[in-house]
C-alpha cells in the first residue's frame, strides 16, 4: 500500500514539474485558447466551457467561456479526477453521482450537474489539465460530441507544444545573443580608457583630441546598444519573475521623472509631470522603473531640442493609466505595427544621435503584460508627436 502511495506521489510531483515547464500558469488571456472554449460551448450546446490547469492546490482557468471565475480549489470529483483518466471523463447528473456529490460546485450555489472533460495530455504522458464543458442541467453526451471535444483538446495540446518549442528556440537564440554581446562588451569598455590615455600623451594636437573624442563617443553608443541587447536576452530567455508589492505609482514615477530631468536638460527639454495623489498598483518596483525609464528616455531621444514631454498618471475604469506624450517625430501606420517588435527598424532617428538597438519597447511590452497590464501607442502622423499609454490594474484588484 505504501509503495503504491509513494508511486502516486512521485507521479504527481513529475506532473507538476511538467506543468511548470510549459510556463502557462497565470499567463494573460489568449485569443487562440478563448476561441476553442467558445467553439466547445457552442458545438456541444452548453453554457460553459473551460480550459483548466490543475496546480498543486488549485485549478486555474487558462480560458473560460460563460463563467467569470478565474480558479477554484482542487476538490475531488471533477478536474482533479479527470486528469487521472486517459479518456473522456463524463458526469451526466452530478447530484446523483457518488464521484461528484460532495464537490462544492455541485453541492454549492453554482449548481453544476453535467460535466465532461478531456485531459490535456502533453509529451511525457502528463495530464496538465482539461478541456471541459459544463451545464447546470443533467444531460448526456453523444459519440459525435465526444469526438468534437477530443479534437478540440488535440488542437489545444498542439498549441501548448508549439509554444514550448518556440520558447526553447527563442531561449537558444537569446543565449547566443547574450554570449556575443557579453564578449563585445569587454573590449568596448576598454576603448574609452585608451582614448583618454592617447589624449593625455605628449605631444598632442587638436586633431588628435577630436579623433579621441569621436572614438569615445562611438564606443559609448556601442556600449549602450550592447547593454540593451544583454537586458533583452536576460528578460526574454526566462520567465519574468515579479516581486509584487503595493506601490504608490505617482510617487514612484515622480522619482523616475526626476532622474530623467537631467538628461532632458541636456537637450533643453522640459518634462512636465501631472498626477492625482495615491494611485496604488501591485507591481515590481525595479520592473516598473524599467518601463517608465524606457518610455521617458524614448520621448527624450526622439523629441527635438526645446520641446516639452508630458508624463501623466490618472485612473479610469478600475485601472491606473500612465501616459507619456512627446512632440517628436510621431509615426505612421506602417511603423505602428512594428513598434513593440524586437529589433524594430523604424523611420525615426534620435534627435541627439543617441544609440539604440530597437529593443526597448519590446522589453517594455513584456514587463507590462507580466503585470497583467497593456500598452498601446498613438500618433496623428509624421512630425506630430506620439502618446504611449500603459494601463495597470489598481491595487484593490486581486491577481489570480
Q: What is the mean pLDDT of residues 217-236?
A: 63
Q: What is the mean pLDDT of residues 241-261?
A: 88
Q: What is the mean pLDDT of residues 91-117?
A: 87
CA dihedral 364, 365, 368, 369 (to 10 degrees): -150
Residue appearing with cell numbers 519590446: 362
Q: What is the mean pLDDT of residues 201-209?
A: 69
Q: What is the mean pLDDT of residues 323-337?
A: 80
Residue 347 has pLDDT above 60, yes or no: no
pLDDT of residue 389: 94
Residue appearing with cell numbers 573624442: 213
Q: What is the mean pLDDT of residues 248-255?
A: 92
pLDDT of residue 150: 94
pLDDT of residue 328: 84
pLDDT of residue 357: 45
pLDDT above 90 coverage of the chain, percent: 34
pLDDT of residue 340: 73
Residue 23 confidence class, pLDDT cut points 50, 70, 90: confident
Least confident of 86-90, 110-114, 156-160, 349-353: 349-353
pLDDT of residue 65: 95
Residue among 126, 125, 172, 131 at smallest CA distance from 152: 131
More confident residue, 388 or 175: 388
- SS3 of residue 339 by DSSP: coil
Q: What is the mean pLDDT of residues 107-125?
A: 90
Compute CA distances 145 → 16, 32, 142, 154, 155, whole Å: 30, 21, 5, 14, 16
Residue 152 has pLDDT above 70, yes or no: yes
Rounded CA-CA distance 326/309 in Å is 5
Least confident of 18-22, 30-34, 51-55, 352-356: 352-356
Compute CA distances 312 → 176, 249, 255, 277, 360, whole Å: 39, 11, 13, 12, 20
The DSSP string of 146-190 is HHHHHHHHHHHHHHHHHHHHHHHHHHHHHHHHHHHHHHHHHHHHH
Q: What is the mean pLDDT of residues 141-170?
A: 90
Residue 120 confidence class, pLDDT cut points 50, 70, 90: very high
Three-point CA angle 220, 221, 222, nearest 5°? 90
Q: Regarding the domain delimited by 2-141, which CATH topology (the fold level of the hierarchy) does it fall under?
A: Beta-Lactamase (3.30.450)
Report cis status (omega within 30 of 0) of the bond before 203.
yes
Residue 153 has pLDDT above 60, yes or no: yes
Q: Give the pairing type, strands 126-135 and 48-54.
A: antiparallel
Residue 354 has pLDDT above 90, yes or no: no
pLDDT of residue 188: 66
Least confident of 4-13, 113-122, 164-173: 164-173
Query: Do 244 and 399 touch, CB atoms closer than 8 A?
Result: yes
Compute CA distances 348 → 249, 298, 331, 353, 384, whole Å: 30, 11, 8, 11, 12
Residue 147 has pLDDT above 70, yes or no: yes
Residue 310 has pLDDT above 90, yes or no: yes
Rounded CA-CA distance 93/140 in Å is 9
Length of the chain: 400
Residue 398 confidence class, pLDDT cut points 50, 70, 90: very low
Q: What is the mean pLDDT of residues 333-351?
A: 64
- Report for 217-221, 252-256, 380-384: range of highest mean pLDDT: 252-256
- Report the mean per-residue pLDDT for the chain: 82
Residue 248 confidence class, pLDDT cut points 50, 70, 90: very high
pLDDT of residue 219: 67
Strands of the sheet containing 374-378, edge to edge, are 270-275, 308-316, 319-326, 386-393, 374-378
- In terms of Cβ atoms closer than 10 Å to its own Cβ (0-12, 13-18, 19+), residue 27 is middle
More confident residue, 3 or 343: 3
More confident residue, 220 or 300: 300
Q: Regarding the domain delimited by 245-393, which CATH topology (the fold level of the hierarchy) does it fall under?
A: Heat Shock Protein 90 (3.30.565)
The maximal CA–CA distance of the chain, rounded, in angstroms, is 98
Amino acid at each position: 500500500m505504501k509503495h503504491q502511495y509513494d508511486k502516486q506521489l512521485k507521479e504527481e510531483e513529475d506532473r507538476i514539474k511538467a506543468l511548470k515547464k510549459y510556463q502557462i500558469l497565470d499567463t494573460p488571456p489568449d485569443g487562440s485558447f478563448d476561441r476553442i472554449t467558445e467553439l466547445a460551448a457552442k458545438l456541444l450546446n452548453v453554457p460553459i466551457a473551460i480550459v483548466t490547469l490543475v496546480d498543486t492546490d488549485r485549478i486555474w482557468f487558462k480560458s473560460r467561456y460563460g463563467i467569470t471565475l478565474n480558479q477554484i480549489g482542487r476538490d475531488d470529483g471533477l478536474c482533479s479526477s479527470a486528469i487521472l483518466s486517459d479518456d473522456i471523463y463524463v458526469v451526466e447528473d452530478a447530484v446523483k453521482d457518488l464521484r461528484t456529490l460532495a464537490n462544492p460546485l455541485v453541492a454549492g450555489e453554482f449548481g453544476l450537474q453535467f460535466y465532461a472533460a478531456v485531459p490535456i495530455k502533453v509529451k511525457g504522458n502528463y495530464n496538465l489539465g482539461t478541456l471541459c464543458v459544463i451545464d447546470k442541467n443533467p444531460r448526456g453526451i453523444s459519440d459525435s460530441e465526444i469526438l468534437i471535444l477530443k479534437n478540440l483538446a488535440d488542437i489545444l495540446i498542439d498549441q501548448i507544444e508549439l509554444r514550448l518549442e518556440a520558447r526553447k528556440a527563442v531561449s537558444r537564440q537569446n543565449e547566443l545573443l547574450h554570449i556575443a554581446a557579453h564578449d563585445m562588451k569587454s573590449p568596448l569598455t576598454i576603448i574609452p580608457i585608451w582614448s583618454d590615455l592617447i589624449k593625455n600623451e605628449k605631444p598632442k594636437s587638436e586633431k588628435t583630441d577630436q579623433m579621441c573624442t569621436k572614438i569615445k563617443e562611438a564606443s559609448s553608443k556601442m556600449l549602450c546598444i550592447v547593454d540593451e541587447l544583454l537586458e533583452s536576452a536576460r528578460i526574454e530567455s526566462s520567465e519574468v519573475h515579479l516581486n509584487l508589492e503595493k506601490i504608490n505609482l505617482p510617487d514612484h514615477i515622480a522619482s523616475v521623472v526626476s532622474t530623467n530631468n537631467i538628461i532632458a536638460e541636456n537637450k533643453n527639454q522640459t518634462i512636465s509631470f501631472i498626477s492625482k495623489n495615491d494611485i496604488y498598483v501591485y507591481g515590481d518596483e525595479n520592473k516598473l522603473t524599467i518601463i517608465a525609464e524606457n518610455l521617458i528616455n524614448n520621448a527624450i531621444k526622439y523629441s527635438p531640442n526645446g520641446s516639452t514631454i508630458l508624463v501623466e498618471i490618472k485612473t479610469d475604469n478600475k485601472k491606473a493609466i500612465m501616459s507619456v506624450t512627446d512632440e517628436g517625430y510621431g509615426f505612421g501606420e506602417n511603423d505602428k505595427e512594428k513598434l513593440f517588435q524586437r529589433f524594430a527598424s523604424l523611420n525615426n532617428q534620435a534627435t541627439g544621435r543617441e544609440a539604440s538597438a530597437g529593443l526597448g519597447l519590446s522589453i517594455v511590452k513584456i514587463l507590462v503584460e507580466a503585470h497583467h497590464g497593456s500598452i498601446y501607442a498613438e500618433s496623428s502622423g509624421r512630425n506630430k508627436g506620439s502618446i504611449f499609454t500603459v494601463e495597470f490594474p489598481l491595487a484593490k484588484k486581486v491577481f489570480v
